[in-house]
Amino acid sequence: MPKVPPPNDHPSINPGFLERTWFTQFHRLWQNDRGQRHAAVPVNARVSVTLSLNANLGKSHDPFIMSTAIDFRSDTVTRPSPGMRQAMADAPVGDDVFGDDPTVHRLQAKAAQLLGQEAGLFVTSGTQGNLLAILTHCQRGEEYIAGSKAHAYLEEAGGGAVLASVQPQPVENQADGTLDLASVRAAIKPDDFHFAITRLFCLENTFFGTPLPMDYLCDAKDLASEHQLRFHLDGARIFNAAVRCGIAPSTIGGMFDSVSACLSKGLGAPIGSVLTGSRDFIRRARRWRKMLGGGTRQVGILAAAGLYALEHNIERLEEDHEHAMLLADGLAEIEELEIQKTAQRTNMVFASMSEHRLEGLARFMQERGILITADENPVRLVTHLDIDQAGLNAAVDAFKDYFHKGA
């Protein structure tokens, strides 16, 4: 474990900061695994420490606060478990640019098998996975169809247009995340040189925490086949969808020509996604990954975390879903909140309130050791493997305090 240098030898830390009483008491806990920290520091102690830190620092971006808070901002905030860290430390590695890393090969094969595809490619993020899919399926000047609120269209910095030179054609998402297939059909361009060639149809599952219905996916696949479109799934949370629907991930993934699945959300890995598809598709995607600077060397250290996640953390997603239902039920008791109802809730809860109550909510929660994003309605709360029953109770109590005590 690296030793923290004395204040005068550490240019980024103010000496007065190091003299605060919490530092000497909690520094060792800070550097330990988060699960060990939670076992050693009860919720009320974490909250009291966070309160004192906020009084001194005035911001939530201090690493100690971030690592001890009950964090509902996303399922991307999880820390690797001790078992995952050990797997990373013990991973056999090689140079993946030469094709020599055995651990990344195991990860790619495992992901492809789980998702009903022939081959896989480890990538740095879901954004890179979706971009590689667009680059591999489409030529410059062609077009992909995606939901107007889909991550691949709205929240990936326009990479499909900028880097792939592929035109996006958004279609409005329905409330359940589906795209009206009549609207998709109408968006497909005729064979006319005035128009871009529609080449790719993209869906996202889950969508805002809701799995897409299987009968809809069948109909969407039929439409793609009818119009000779490639069919890609942004499956950032495909494992949540599969667990919630009680089906194998391959039942969903096998319907698509390609699937990008995230390892660093509910599955708890620190980095990475796997893009899967046919062997020829992955061979071509590997070339695009190299062009984007995605070639890596001893990447097995990171791949080991993803492999551990696939082997240990899929079934436990049901616990996150149960926690989300409990959280939704608890928040529904608050008259000032409107909780979005869904028959197929996974690990997300969406809560709406009057606009004037949004201001100050995140700060109020932060002062109680709870991190949320509350910039606009609805407020999204995400459960994950680092949130336990005590964390749920603390969040519900804090929301009740905020509304009932006139905060």
> Per-residue pLDDT tens for 201-226?
999 999 999 999 999 999 999 999 99
Q: What is the CATH code of the structural domain delimited by 83-312? A: 3.40.640.10
What the block records as the tokens of 173 is: 């998402």
Q: What is the 3-state secondary structure (H, E, C) of 24-67?
A: HHHHHHHHCCHHHHHHHCCHHHHHHHHHHHHHHHCCCCCHHHHH
* Residue ranges in the chain whose pLDDT is less than 70: 1-67, 406-407
Nearest in space to 368 (alpha carbons), one of 19, 95, 53, 132: 53
Fill in the DSSP letter of residue 212. Answer: P
Helix (H) or strand (E) holding 202: strand 197-204
Residue 405 is predicted with a pLDDT of: 76
**Contact predicate 373/361, CB 8 Å:** no
58: which 2 tokens?
């005035």
Looking only at Cα atoms, what is the longest distance across the chain? 72
Answer yes or no: are the C-beta atoms of 347 and 383 closer than 8 Å. yes
Nearest Cα residue to 204 out of 145, 142, 271: 145
> Partners of 245 in the beta sheet?
none
The helix or strand, by DSSP H or E, that contains position 109, with its residue range, turns out to be: helix 102-114
Half-sphere exposure of 243 toward its Cβ, with a 13 Å CA cutoff?
Answer: 21
Q: What is the pLDDT of residue 66?
A: 57
| Stretch(es) of the chain classified as CATH 3.40.640.10 | 83-312
CATH of 7-79+316-404, one of 3.90.1150.10, 3.40.50.280, 3.40.50.11540, 3.40.50.300: 3.90.1150.10
- CA–chain centroid gap for 134, Å, is 20
Helix (H), strand (E) at residue 198: strand 197-204
pLDDT, residue 292, reads 95
DSSP one-letter string for 114-176: HTT-SEEEEES-HHHHHHHHHHHH--TTEEEEEETT-HHHHSSTTHHHHTT--EEEEEPBPTT
Residue in 214, 258, 211, 270 with CA at minimum distance from that of residue 234: 258
- For residue 199, how many other CB atoms are within 10 A of its CB? 22
- How do beta strands 273-277 and 230-235 pair? unpaired
Within 10 angstroms of residue 220's Cβ, the number of other Cβ atoms is 22
Instruction: Map tokens 């990479």 to a residue.
Output: 159
Q: What are the angstrom distances between the C-alpha of 21 and each of 182, 387, 403?
A: 64, 27, 33
